[in-house]
Amino acid sequence: MHYKFTESSFEEVVLKLFEEADYEYVSGYDIHRLKNDIILEDDFINYLELNYPRGNFSSDDIRVILNELKMISYRNLHTSFKETLNKVRSGFTLYRENENPIHIDFINFANKNKNSFKVVNQFEVQGSQELRRPDIVIFINGIPISVIELKNPADETVSVFQAYEDLTIKCNRGIPDLMRYSFVAMISDNANTKVGSIFAGYEHFYEWKSTDGNDYAETPFEVLEMTINGLYKHETILNIIENYVYVPESDDGKSTVIVPKYYQYYHTEVLYNSVKDAMKPNGDGKGGTYFGATGSGKSYIMLYLTRRLTLDTTLDNPTVLLITDRGDLDDQLSKTFAKASTFLNDKNVRSFESREDLKNELNGIKSGGVFLTTVQKFNEETSLLTDRNNVICISDEAHRSQINLNEVLELSNDEIVKRVGFAKHLRDALPNATYVGFTGTPIDETIGVFGEVVASYKMRRAKQDGSTVGLEYVSGPDELKLDEQKIREIEKFYDEMEQ
């Protein structure tokens, strides 16, 4: 008998994969609730009992906690999404008569084992005008953190794009009370599995091709498996909700939410751990080198890395400097970071306009701060700024003026003088800082200054993922043609970099 692959059977496959990834499966039809109830209240109450065994919560206390999670100030979906995300990340303080205040976290980000993870299908939601039933909803502690839309792989008349439209148009418009909790969304027809934000254009949905940043999916079904075993792995999805879903503070009226690409997430985590291991006095101050293909979004990795560092309570509120060697790069990073002070949990996010500004700020600051500057602002006049060891310098284009640590001889006014590079002045000013280098073209000096390449996203992988465009050249008139030997050398270089 011929077996027909239907949307229903595909859904069963996806549900099974989630079960194998340690999610409890429940049919929505078996959950006792009103169709406009978004939170699975029994699950959330069980979470409270597990995490606050001495809370002695009354029924009124539980109602107050649930109302705090449910209530929003705005009806606009993007604004309510942002408010909901902030609540889930920060929790709130419960005040009770004759009791000490108690801080309530809606999700235990520190201990994955003190949360419940559930995968649910047939979850009907009553909107203001219609009843909708997303294919699959993922719940943590009864909170619907991810909505998934599927399409029949055997039906040639439908595509994954229609799953995208169902998710971002029909669900967003019809059941916004559910969608404001969907911090990460997934669409799939088996041939294509993509994840992204419910506010993103289709071109910004992408494949999650790895479970650790080292192994890569090569077939469509492997992408589906790695999405569930990678992105939705318990510790990973918790970390992404807490630290990686980024809502810019102002984006010219656009409803923008950034969800990391798989390599941005995994490589940030590698860099974060490398920096912590390298910090003085126990480390050598070399936080590592990141080798990333041009155009693959290194600025977002810098942003995520900065958040991970600034929110790490073991680092005693570190100061982070983002250092470029060109004004246009500084402007580009400034635009990204200017919208991120809330995300970075530091209102002191700014660029230095002058050397004097740099000296005044860093001389007086005892902790904290996220600052952007160019390496040229460090010279012999800068002198010691701070000898604190919880200063992290993140250098962009770490293969040019950011690696010149040695003295060089220069001819000036018919005299030979000794000069040292900007990078040497930077380290004299911040002798106990930890240094991280980002580059698209690493050289031996880069590794010598910043440490070994701890993560890389090379051109071949970037081209396969569609994250960047490959380099090409075309022949032209003889007088415009490059030297053939130089062309071969260039091609050899990029072939080596792609390996």
The pLDDT tens digits of the residues spanning 336-380 come to 888 898 999 888 888 887 878 888 888 778 889 999 988 778 776
Q: DSSP E strands: which ranges in 133-202?
A: 136-140, 143-150, 185-188, 193-196
Assess contact for 275 and 454: CB atoms under 8 A: no
- State the Cα–Cα distance between residues 96 and 41, nearest whole angstrom: 21
Range of the structural domain that residue 172 is part of: 7-243
Select the highest-mean-pLDDT range: 383-387, 445-449, 453-457, 483-487. Answer: 453-457
Of 214, 243, 272, the last residue of a domain is: 243
Tell me the sheet residues that pair with 350.
Answer: 371
pLDDT at 310: 94
Q: DSSP E strands: which ranges in 352-424?
A: 370-374, 391-395, 407-412, 415-420
Residues 377 and 232 grouped into a single domain: no
In a domain, 180, yes or no: yes
Number of domains in the chain: 2
Listed residue (115, 131, 128) closest to 50, CA to CA: 115
More confident residue, 443 or 29: 29
Assess contact for 442 and 453: CB atoms under 8 A: yes
Residues 226 and 271 grouped into a single domain: no
In a domain, 26, yes or no: yes
Predicted TM-score (pTM) of the model is 0.89
Q: pLDDT tens digit string along 79-136? A: 999 999 999 999 999 999 888 899 999 999 999 999 999 999 999 999 888 899 999 9
Rg (CA), the chain: 26
Residues 271 and 300 grouped into a single domain: yes
DSSP letter at 483 equals P
More confident residue, 165 or 495: 165
291 three-state secondary structure: strand
Q: Which two tokens stand for residue 217?
A: 């999916």
In a domain, 492, yes or no: no
pLDDT at 410: 47
In a domain, 429, yes or no: yes
- State the Cα–Cα distance between residues 44 and 140, nearest whole angstrom: 9
- State the Cα–Cα distance between residues 197 and 189, nearest whole angstrom: 18
pLDDT at 154: 86
Residues 218 and 283 grouped into a single domain: no
Residues 239 and 359 grouped into a single domain: no
Half-sphere exposure of 185 (CA within 13 A, CB side): 31
Q: pLDDT tens digit string along 19-34? A: 999 999 999 999 999 9
Mean pLDDT along residues 292-315: 92
pLDDT at 184: 98
Largest CA distance in the chain: 93
